[in-house]
Amino acid sequence: MTVTALLDGSGAEVLAEACAAYQPGKELQLVERLRRRYDATLVTIAVTQASLRHRAVAKFGADAARMYFTPDGLEQATRTTVGTHRATRIASTLPGSSMVDLGCGIGGDLISAARAGLRVTGVERDPETAATARANLTALGLPGEVMVGDAESTELTPYDVVFADPARRADGRRVFDHNAYSPPWTFVTELLQRTACVKVAPGIPHDAVPEGVEAEWISDAGEVKEAALWSGALYTGALRRATLLPSGVSVADAPEAESGPVEQYIYEPDGAVVRAGLVTAVAAAVDGWLLDPRIAYVTAPKLVPTPLASAYEVVEELPYKEKALRSWVRTQGIGTLEIKKRGVDVDPAQLRKKLAPKGPGTATLIITRIGRDAVAYSCRRVKIEP
């Protein structure tokens, strides 16, 4: 018995009750209560679905209440903000085009694409997951079809755009090496010889991106979520791009930048900007320079609003020695200590424990390397509105 058992009849009835009464941590009590009136297996599936819908709100917002999920499908699904960004880019370039999603999972990207006006087809080799994707399109009132099939054997000629999200897990563990993707990287590079968008892990090496393909790193609320590879008619001519959601700010130009001494402000570029190798764009935006040519910190004499980076006001430079830092924490009465680091071998959590912050004060400690020397700066996080 699978998710399809919840689509109508007593299955839909028990699911509605399970979702209405669901409370995290009280699943067993809910199961016991519902089993008095419904089939035990059906109840287990319904309560599991209620739990998944509760977790899915973080990715799918209000849609989660009407959608269906599998545990693996939810884990691997693209959040709506990112999926909408991609779908909008495709639809603005090729409005009304047909798109096939190879390995569509529970249909998150199909939903975004259909809402953007694309004609969508999903291909998924697992029958239960395919049924879940089909149910999600229906539940949200969206057109599209989902077929059970293998990505590598799908005939692609009928489609204007190919989207693929290769599996990055093996034996339940996340895979970081692009050569271990499924379908394999050779298949991905073949797809990128046509008009395609391929979702990959943000750690994709720059030199793995084929020539004539744009790599776009995407962050959402400051957290890097993925990279997307764009080819064919979707290629803009940029080699690397960083896009920050939910603002949609995008940068693809990396002007040259000098390095120099620390000034009143230190800027920490958004993770997507760093991954894309576009840190110098931050230096240009704030009229500043790099602290070190190999480290992703920018410094400038003035506070300049930019969505590309977080800003910190430098209070003082400190010796990078545990005893000196512990003394600083104690004399300043710092109880809440944020530790940022780049280019130095230090575990912020372990260092924070050694420094034993205690008191009413709040501070940020930035530890980095300039040349061969490790340096530390006492800072205040600055909230700036772009």
Encode pLDDT of 10-61 as tens digits: 999 999 999 999 999 999 999 999 999 999 999 999 999 999 999 999 999 9
The predicted pLDDT at position 171 comes to 53
How sure is the predictor about 385, in pLDDT bands with cuts at 50, 70 and 90? low
Assess contact for 254 and 221: CB atoms under 8 A: no
Is 298 found in the same domain as 218? no
Q: Is the dihedral of CA 15, 18, 23, 29 positive or negative?
A: negative
Determine the Cα–Cα distance for residues 250 and 281; give it in Å rounded to an integer.
11
The predicted pLDDT at position 301 comes to 97
Domain boundary among 47, 69, 91: 69
Q: What would the DSSP string read from start to end of 15-83?
A: HHHHHHH--TT-HHHHHHHHTTTS-HHHHHHHHHHHHHHHHHHHHHGGGGGG----HHHHHHPPPHHHH
Encode pLDDT of 307-365 as tens digits: 999 999 999 999 999 999 999 999 999 999 999 999 999 999 999 999 999 999 999 99
Determine the Cα–Cα distance for residues 324 and 348; give it in Å rounded to an integer.
16
Q: Which residue has the tokens 């776009």?
A: 216
The predicted pLDDT at position 174 comes to 65
Report the amino acid identity of residue 112: S
Structural domain includes residue 279: yes
CATH of the domain at 203: 3.40.50.150
The predicted pLDDT at position 169 comes to 60
Is 236 found in the same domain as 100? yes
Count of structural domains, the chain: 3
Is 108 found in the same domain as 37? no
The predicted pLDDT at position 179 comes to 76
How sure is the predictor about 173, in pLDDT bands with cuts at 50, 70 and 90? low
Encode pLDDT of 93-137 as tens digits: 999 999 999 999 999 999 999 999 999 999 999 999 999 999 999
Is 289 found in the same domain as 173? no
Is 241 found in the same domain as 273? no
The predicted pLDDT at position 102 comes to 97
Mean pLDDT for all residues in the chain: 94
Is 371 found in the same domain as 271? yes
The predicted pLDDT at position 87 comes to 98
Give the domain extent around 14. Answer: 3-69
Determine the Cα–Cα distance for residues 109 and 78; give it in Å rounded to an integer.
7
- Joined together, the tokens standing for residue 89 give 């880019």
Is 207 found in the same domain as 80? yes
Structural domain includes residue 33: yes
Encode pLDDT of 230-279 as tens digits: 999 999 999 999 999 999 999 998 899 999 999 999 999 999 999 999 99
Is 319 found in the same domain as 174? no
The predicted pLDDT at position 2 comes to 78
H or E, element range at 367: strand 361-370
- Joined together, the tokens standing for residue 292 give 């070190």
Encode pLDDT of 132-156 as tens digits: 999 999 999 999 999 999 999 999 9
Is 224 found in the same domain as 118? yes
The predicted pLDDT at position 383 comes to 83
Distances (CA, A) of 73 to 7, 131, 172, 283, 339: 18, 12, 13, 40, 35
The predicted pLDDT at position 3 comes to 85
Mean pLDDT computed over 198-215: 95
Is 139 found in the same domain as 95? yes
% of residues, the chain, pLDDT over 70: 96
Is 109 found in the same domain as 232? yes
Q: What are phi and psi of 37, to 5 degrees?
A: -125, -15
The predicted pLDDT at position 176 comes to 66
